[in-house]
Each structure stands twice: as C-alpha cells, then as structure tokens.
Chains A and B, each alone.
Chain A
Amino acid sequence: MTTRVLDVPAVQRGPLAVRTRLRAGLEEALLPPVVALLVALVIGDLLILAVGQPPGAVYRLLLQGTWGNAYGLGQVLFKATTLAFTGLAVAVGLRAGLFNIGAESQLAAGGFVVALLGLVLPAGTPALLAIPLGLAAAAVGGAAVGVVPGVLKARAGAHEVIVTIMLNFIVLALLNWIVAAHLHVPETLHTPEVHAGAIPRLADLFTVFHGSAANLSLLLTPVAAAGVWWFLFRTRRGYELRAVGLQPDAAEYGGVSVGGVWTRAFALSGALAGLGGVNFVLGYKHYYEDGFASGAGFMGIAVALVGRNHPVGILVAALLFATLSQGGLAIHAVVPKQMVEVLQAVVILAVVVSVPEVRRLLRRSRRTEAA
C-alpha cells in the first residue's frame, strides 16, 4: 500500500509559496498599523480643524518640537524609554494570556527600590558595580509587586485585572506614605539623591541635548526588547508561556504547569516594568519622586496593543506615543493639551478597530487574487 495520492496542488510546496507567504506575512504585519495611523491622522485633522487651527501647521509644529531639534528629540527618547519597558511588561503578560493593569505600580516600585539601593550604597561605588546592582534592584522591586497577582491567580483563581488594579492603589499609596513620612527632602515629595549608580545623561556627552532628560539608559531598551524576543520565541519557557496564552488546556496537556507560567510571567512582567524606573531615577533626577512616571504604566497597555505584543512593534509604538506626548507640549500654545490626549486615544481606537478590519480585507483581496 505504497501508492500515494498527491492531493496537494504543486504550487503549495514550491519556493514560490514561501515567497508569497513571506509577502503576505509582511503585509499583514505592516499594513494594518499604517492604515490605523492614517485613520488617526484624518480624525486628528478634524479635531484640529474643530479648534480652529490649520492641521498642516499644527503637525509641523508638533514635528519641530519633537524630532525637529535635539532637545525635543531627547525628550521623546526619554519618554519612549519608560514606555518601551512598560509596553514590554504588558506584552509579556498578554502573551501568557494575562492582562497586567499593574505596570503603573510595578514601575513605581522598581524606581523606589533602585533609589533605596542608591542611598544605601556608599558614595564612590564604581559605576560598573552600582549600575548593574541598580538594574537588578529595579527588576526585583517591580517583580515583587508583579508576582502577587500571578500567585493569587495560580493559587486562588483571583482575576488578575482586579488584583492589579487594587495593587496599584495599595502600592502607590504605600510608597507615597513612606516617602512623605520618612524619606523626603524637606519641602519636596522626593527622596535624597542617590550616592552611586547615576547613569550619564545624553547632554553630558553631546551638548546639543542640553536640558533634555534623555540618558544612556535608553540603550537598555533594544537590549530588553531583544531579550524578550529571544525568551518568547527561542527558549523552552517562552514556548510554554505562549502556549498557555494561546490554549491553556493544550499547554496543560503538554505537561506545562499553567499556574507556574502565570506566576513567572507576572514576575517577569513586573521586573520589566520595574526596570523602566531606572530611566528616571538613575538616568534623570537621581532620586525617587512620588508620581515620577504617572500614567506611563497605563500607557504601556496602549504601547503593547499598538505594537501588537511584538518587541519590535513595541519599540516603534513607544516612540510614537512618546512623540505624541512630547508633541502635545510643543503645540500647547495653539491646541489645548487635552486635544492631544484625545488624539492618543484616537490612535489606540484606530488600531483596535482597523487592524482586524484591514486583515480581513487583505485576506479577501488575496482570495480573489488567487482566483
């Protein structure tokens, strides 16, 4: 019984098919976000027109204030660094099927712990020792908060959305109290400056960046993105994490401890969010300040969403949202800041709505093409 029936059209096996699939994959990865952005731009035009300004001029102003000069660019990079970390944090959760709304407090906890370490370390600790220790401290701080919803979900079945929202209140209030009651510099809401571990600012190296908060911790973002990609797609734990996110029953069947993955994914997610605190604490102000990155944790959800949970997409999305955020300040004089916030929300909605829609249209056009 060796006769084989060839029931597969030959084209499906050839190299042609590989190329077509590659093209199809690229189209599906790139076209939807581009369309989403265009949709958002059109709606943005209408919004700007509504407040009585010419859209072209406002966009020009926005670009000049962000990518058009070194200071603006520095601010964009600074904001994008924190957003990249919170975006990666949310994405790791989503890949495991978990919705981490707690990046906000994990980020704060990471920043707080790294500031504490900086106060404990003696002045003059070499940077080569202090900075890695600082990174570890930030990761541990974020992970300590992050692991809680993971454990509670694995052990007690508590829904992670509720737990992370509640933890945001608890952790932020607790940190506020500790700083206000015990650690603040008089008349302020921030801790004293760290003794060691400061990361050089961009302005220290290139004077054009003078005044901007950008610092070398931005170099950590491609490293972190590459690390997350490698972990998700190249390691056994990443394979198991994604399987749990896609089909928990199949993962369980495949010998994966689903609760274990939840716990580890939340710890990793928290650690990434916590690392985002390094940017402000070691890179910019050198102290922990209450509410130092307020909103960046929540914005991480948007970044992960627009970046489609892919590390590369997240870096791009972080730059996009950082540009919008900084650009909002640049056009503040002509367009109310609230309008920029509306525009950010429009970008998110455009992605959420148009990505599946564009993919559907792509598939349909391909079907007729093939006919």
Chain B
Amino acid sequence: MSDDIAVETSGVTAPADAAVVMHGIDVSFGPVRANRGARLEVRAGEVHALVGENGAGKSTLMRVLSGLIRPEGGRVRVFGRDVTGWNTAEAIAAGVGMVHQHFMLVPTLTVAENLVLGREFRRGPMLDRARADRAVRELAEETGLHVPAGARVRELSVGEAQRVEILKTLFRGARVLVLDEPTAVLSPSEVDELWRVLRRVRDGGGTIILITHKLDEVMAISDVVTVMRHGATVARHRTAETTPAELAREMVGRDVVLAGDVAAPAPGPAPATVASPASASPALEVHDLTVSSARRAVAVDRVSFTVAAGEILGIAGVEGNGQTELVEAIAGLRAVRGGSIALGGTPITDLTVRARGERGLSHIPEDRHRRGLVLDYTVADNLVLGLQDRFARAGVLDRDRIEHNAREKIEAFDIRPGNPGLPARNLSGGNQQKVVVAREMGRAYSVLLAAQPTRGVDVGAIEFIHRRLRAARDAGKAVLLVSADLAEIFALADRIAVFYEGRIAALLPRARADKETVGRYMTGAAREDVA
C-alpha cells in the first residue's frame, strides 16, 4: 500500500462470517488513482458505513463491488467466493444490490410493474399483473417496507420512491444492499423512516453498506464504520467506540470544526442589528411576495421579510415548502405573481437577472449541476458565468483577465485540481461547489442568496464555506441562507425563518431558537404566521 497511514482495526478482527471482503483494490481513471489498495471488510448482518470526503474513492470501491468496474489490483470476495472482476449480472446473481442515488424507476409504471421489470411474471403472452401485485405485497409484508403496489411511481414522494428502489433490490434477491448517499434527497422524517427500514432489513439477516459523508448518520445507524481518504482505507472502527470528531479528523487528515460543535449563537458584529433589523436600512426587502410553482400552484404565499447588512437570515424548512421558488424569484429566475422585492431600497421586482447582478445581488444556486455551472465549460469560463460582460471589452472576451481571475480564485478558494483549463465536469462535487462559491463570493455584491451552499459537499469544504459565509457577514454583506440542514442553519444564522407550506411559520432570533421549536414549526405542528 502506498499510503503511509496504517489501517487501524481497533477491536475488529477479520470476520469469519464475512459477507464482503475487499483487499488491496486499485482503480485508476487516467492519471487519477481513485482507489489505491483500498480495503473493506463487512460482516453479514451488519450496517457498515463507508465514509470519506468527496473523491475519497467510496463510490469507486462500491462500483468495483457491484461489477461496474474491473479493478487493476486486489481481490474481492463475497460470501467466501472469490469474485474479482465479475460483471454486474454476476454481482446481482450473487446477491449484491446497489440502490442508486438517482432512482432507476420508470415514473409512468406502477410500483409493482417497476419491481418486476426485467423479470415479469407471464401468463401466455400476457403479463400476470395479479401475480406481480401479490408477489410485491408478500415481499412488503415480509420486510415491513410498505409501498402502495398499485400506485404509479410518479405519484410517490421521494421517500416512497426510495423504498420502492430498496424493495426492488431485495426483490432481485439482494443479500448485500449498497446505498449511495441515500438521505441526500430525504426530509428529516423520511430519514427516520429509512433508518427504521434499514434496521429491519438488517434484523432480517441482510447486510447493508451505506456510503455517506454525514457523520451524524454514521453514528445513528451504523454498527461498523470504514473511513477512506485519497483512495485508501485509513481506519475502521466499531461505531460505538468512535466519535464524529475522530472520524472527521481521519476523513480530512486534520482537525475540523463541525457545524454542530458551535454551541453558542454566532453573533454578528453588531448585535443591535440582530435585535432590531428594521432599524437598519434593509439590504434585501421582500414584501408580500407571492410566487407560483412549476405546476402553477402557489409556492410562496404573501411572504415578507428583510435581511440587514451584516446579518445572516437562515431559512429552515423541509424541502419543497417554497424555499426554491422564493430564491428563484429573488434571483429573477422565476416570475413573481404578487408583491415586491427591493435591494438596498431600490425595487428590483421587474429587473432581469443580469440587472439584479449589476445592482449587487449574488446567488449560489441550490443545483450546481443544472444552474450553477456549465459542466462542459472550463473552470476558468465557469468562474465568469454571469460576469461575462465584465470580462469582455467591446464584446470580445478578455482571455488574459479570465485566466488571471481563474488563477486568483483557485488560489483563494483552494479549488483542486488547480487547473483553470479543466472542464468543470471533471471536478469532484465539493470542488465544483467551490467554483460556484468562489465566483459568487469573489465579486462585488451586497446581498448573497446562498441556497443549500454545502449540499453534497465534504466536511472539509463545508467548514471552508461556512467560514467564508461568516466572513461575508462580518464584512457587512446581507446573506439569505436557505438550508435543509438544521445544523447548518444553527451554526450560521443570526435569525431563523421557518418555512412551511409557502409561508413563514416562525421568525426567531437565533438566541431564542432551539432544534425542537424549529422542528415543530417545520412540520406544521406549530405556526405563528408572520406577515
């Protein structure tokens, strides 16, 4: 093994009842070594968390296990059988099932039809639907995963669709379930439901490998945890015998400040502003705003609030309660049905995206793959997206300045690899996000819309982005932070607005907010409509 860090195997001996044993796995993609001597041992009937930063090689290792990639070195054993270099069909036949981050379901088919897809029951030339329905019900009964067999997949919630995906994998005889970042798309209550399901699968004898970089999930659900860094396995612990801080240190290779560790409410530079934001001139003022969703329903319903300079207003809430539409409306990407938006006292409701940007509005969008980046553009070109006017003279792009700007931002925001000419597509998720953050925070602006600024980003980058957001606040910027992650809201926000069904259910100063209260407002159990 090329890595100098010895694999720590505190209290865990190589199990005799191993479900999965992978040793010395090497995988390269061109010059990038995704796995270098990676090692994983999973005992049958355990929930095994596989953690690491973005690009640490977790997904690659799992793709080796599921037969998608043939490793260049190392051995893979599943239930004692050497299966190195097998293909996906063999993996499925041997009982290794992958539950993908992006669901592989046909939205227009029913749950039962999706489950039997590829191995349909037949009666003559016809599908035996009754038998399919029955089989699905039996399996649901057996596993305790309740899904509406007759419903079409497109009618299901994200959590239900994920359950169907898991059930489909079990239906195909999987004994080892691999879940890749399963909670990225779930609301808190759906996450609890998922944990219940996974425990049930485990108690029924199933083995679960959970890829994640959320340490609270590791602590909540796993029995054993393996840590990867730079393609190699650096540690393995019984979950009960380790701490989030230790895992974070091993993932990143140094000490990190976890969001949850910031116990005290992070005060702004001027506490007076926090106490009475109305007295300061609001950098961003939203008045009586109504916005429609894509399906023309009311997504944001007569919402009013202000964000002062030097303040972070956190918007908490279960996703899908109008936060996305709110941010898009402020950014100019979605038509406003009623109400007004003002930037430093000037109305911007009818301005274009470009004009809003020129007046000092900066925007980290929630979906970097769809909005925030042109994936086939280089890092340098992406670092001027939205600023292309300023990097052109008489309509001609100033390549030297674009290149110079890229080198500057790469340095300041530690974007890796530090090559301005690389397509953004080739960067890891965390570094892609850094490109977006570098662009939006590295320009002149007065108001920053930060939507899910650390989604899908590893601990090291989260810490970095949080530090930047605090620094922006301290430098007198107004920040509207939208996050599905309560810990993030609590770590950063001076005031917290809880969104529920398109309205602000509560607006609390950080000092008076605690997770229980905010949680109650998030789920609609309590509400004090703030006009």
Contacts and interface: CB of A to CB of B under 8 A. Distances in A.
Interface of A: 1, 3-5, 7-9, 11-13, 17, 20, 234-237, 239-240, 242-243, 246-247, 249-257, 366-367, 370-371
Contacts of A4: 414
Given A247-B374, A249-B371, A250-B370, A13 B392 contact: no
Interface residues of B, number: 47
Nearest 9 interchain pairs by C-beta: A255-B354, A236-B392, A254-B386, A254-B385, A371-B72, A253-B371, A255-B353, A8-B417, A250-B374
B396 A235 contact: yes
Contacts of A17: 31
A254 B26 CA distance: 40
**Interface secondary structure of A, over-half rule:** helix
B452 interface: no
B388 A240 contact: yes
Contact of A236 (B26, B363, B372, B389): B389
Nearest to A4: B414
Contact of A246 (B30, B32, B333, B374): B374
Contact of A366 (B30, B72, B381, B397): B30
Contact of A13 (B32, B377, B385, B418): B418
Nearest to A10: B31
Contact of B352 (A8, A242, A243, A255): A255
Contacts of B33: 9
14 contacts: A9-B32, A12-B417, A234-B396, A236-B392, A243-B385, A253-B353, A253-B372, A253-B385, A254-B385, A255-B353, A255-B354, A257-B352, A370-B28, A370-B29
Nearest to B71: A371
Given A235-B397, A236-B397, A239-B388, A367 B28 contact: yes
A12 to B, nearest CB: 5
Contacts of A3: 254
Nearest to B371: A253
A1 B397 CA distance: 37
Contacts of B254: 1, 3, 5
B417 to A, nearest CB: 5
B395 interface: yes
Contacts of B353: 252-255
B357 interface: yes
Contacts of B386: 253-255
Contact of B363 (A243, A246, A253): A253
Given A11-B31, A13-B418, A251 B352 contact: no
Contact of B30 (A7, A254, A367): A367
B185 interface: no
A5 B372 contact: no
Of B352, B363, B371, B389, most A-chain CB atoms within 10 Å: B371
B419 interface: yes
Nearest to B393: A236
A370 to B, nearest CB: 5
Contact of B385 (A5, A8, A250, A367): A250
Contacts of A243: 374, 377, 385
Contact of A250 (B372, B414, B419): B372
A20 B31 contact: yes
B252 A5 contact: yes
Given A246-B374, A250-B371, A234 B397 contact: yes
Interface string B214-240: 000000000000000110000000000
Given A240-B388, A255-B354, A370-B29, 8 more contacts: A12-B419, A236-B389, A236-B392, A246-B375, A250-B372, A252-B371, A254-B385, A367-B29
Contacts of B388: 236, 239-240, 254-255
Nearest to B358: A255
A8 B386 CA distance: 29
A12 B397 contact: no
B32 A12 contact: yes
Contacts of A11: 31
Given A247-B375, A250-B385, A251-B374, A371 B333 contact: no
B253 A5 contact: yes
Interface string B232-270: 000000000000000000001110000000000000000
A247 B357 CA distance: 20
B152 interface: no
Contacts of A239: 381, 388, 397
A370 B230 CA distance: 18
B382 to A, nearest CB: 9
Contacts of A247: 370, 373-376
Interface in B14-46: 26, 28-33
Contact of B376 (A8, A234, A246): A246
A365 B396 CA distance: 39
Contact of B416 (A7, A251, A256): A7
Interface in B331-385: 331, 333, 352-354, 357, 363, 365, 370-377, 381, 385
Given A235-B396, A235-B397, A236-B388, A246 B377 contact: yes
A253 B333 contact: yes
B36 to A, nearest CB: 10
Interface in B387-404: 388-389, 391-392, 395-397, 399
Nearest to A243: B374
Nearest to A252: B333
A235 B365 contact: no
Nearest to A21: B421
Interface string B127-152: 00000000000000000000000000
A250 B30 contact: no
A4 B460 CA distance: 11
A164 B392 CA distance: 33
B321 to A, nearest CB: 22
A255 to B, nearest CB: 3
Contacts of B414: 4
A319 B379 CA distance: 35
B398 to A, nearest CB: 10
Nearest to A244: B374
Nearest to A255: B354
Nearest to A17: B31
A8 B30 contact: no
A28 B417 CA distance: 22
A17 B32 CA distance: 11
Given A8-B417, A243-B377, A250-B370, A370 B30 contact: yes
Nearest to B229: A7
B411 to A, nearest CB: 11
Interface in B60-97: 72
